[in-house]
Amino acid sequence: MALVRAAGRPAPLAPVSFAIGIAAVMIRRVPRTSGVRVRMGGSYDVVGIGCCAFDIVVEVNHIPGPDEKALVPRLRMQGGGLVATALVAAARLGGKCAYVGALGDDYFSECCIDEFEKEGIETGFIRRVAGAAVLTAIIVVQPATGQRMILCAGEGRAAVTAEDVPEEVVRTARVLHTDTFEPDAAVRAARIARSAGVPVTVDLESGGPAADRLLGVSDYVIVPLSFAEQRYGSPGMAEAAGELFREIAPHGGKAAVITDGTNGSWAVWEGGSLRQPAYGVEVVDTTGCGDVYHGAFALGVAQGWDIERILPFASATAALKCREFGGRAGIPTNAEVEEFLRSAQPVS
């Protein structure tokens, strides 16, 4: 049985030099509308402000050498990005979700919006920028080692500003979910959310000034163990979660969560702590596992669940994602997660 790396970041692959020819990169399509699109009414379970990307995921059997060509077993093109994929997970689990951001008028931006709409995610708060593009990533996956390499192209991408944040949408949400990709917009949205009593979940992939700003305005902070090791020098998840909670609690933080792939996750909150083991599944691809975990976690907060219910739900959702190739294809429905949890076996 292969084991899921539910929320971890695998070590980078060795350097590789190869070319991937994709004709669609050259395609441009006129957007169906300019500005923002027609908006659905009512409040949302999860409103997301952060990274939206377009992923080109390539599976390789081995890493080609210099000037070497290689046929790849599989290639998938799909939407990606931390917050965007988290929203897809929350929506597929049954949540009503909206994405706030800025995208270009290129083909890949249009594909991202098409995927949002297919999943029932509100796109009316996306500002379209003429001549701009969306962040694009080439993700090289080597199943034999479980490693990935991610190459990102951000030149000419549309950027979200603090002025893009729709205050009333944030104030009436059940949860705001952010990351460090657009810190000015994320921090403003988080402050609006907190002033209205809306919980803020944040995915801090790495440290830096943006992470420092968001730590002080977030309620549920989820980070990989590597983040905590770098910030606190903590030797393990329990210690790291405790250090993180002690940092955020004075600013109103409700819970700190450390994730570490097959080692599971650890949460600390006022008066409690919990270790959640990872679940064993047959792994096809771990791309997007962390983002899916965060989406399920945010939806659990929106439902008013306690941490003891949220952690296994998020871990199971991330594990099931690994059934299929690509960052979103394997994201389960709520019914699939509930069925899986009835018989799921923890890794350790």
Q: Which residue would you say has higher pLDDT here, 154 or 320?
A: 320
* Confidence at residue 41, expressed as pLDDT on a 0 to 100 scale: 52
* pLDDT(230) > 60: yes
- pLDDT digits 0-9 by tens, 306-341: 999 999 999 999 999 988 888 898 999 999 999 999
Over residues 281-306, mean pLDDT: 93
- pLDDT digits 0-9 by tens, 89-124: 999 999 999 999 999 999 999 999 999 999 999 999
Indicate the range of 43-52, 70-79, 136-145, 160-169 predicted with least confidence.
136-145
Task: Count other Cβ atoms within 10 Å, centred on residue 304.
Answer: 9
Note every long-range contact of 305-312, with CB atoms under 8 Å and residues 24 or more positions apart, other chains counting.
307/255, 307/267, 307/269, 307/272, 307/274, 308/274, 311/257, 311/265, 311/267, 311/274, 311/276, 312/276, 312/341
**pLDDT tier at 204, thresholds 50, 70, 90:** very high
What pTM value is reported for the model? 0.87
* pLDDT(8) > 80: no
Mean pLDDT of the chain: 87
Over residues 47-63, mean pLDDT: 93
- pLDDT digits 0-9 by tens, 75-90: 999 999 999 999 999 9
* pLDDT(36) > 60: no
* pLDDT(31) > 60: no
* Confidence at residue 143, expressed as pLDDT on a 0 to 100 scale: 79
111: closest CA among 154, 65, 76?
76
* pLDDT(65) > 80: yes
* pLDDT(39) > 70: no
* Confidence at residue 42, expressed as pLDDT on a 0 to 100 scale: 60
Task: Count other Cβ atoms within 10 Å, centred on residue 35.
Answer: 9
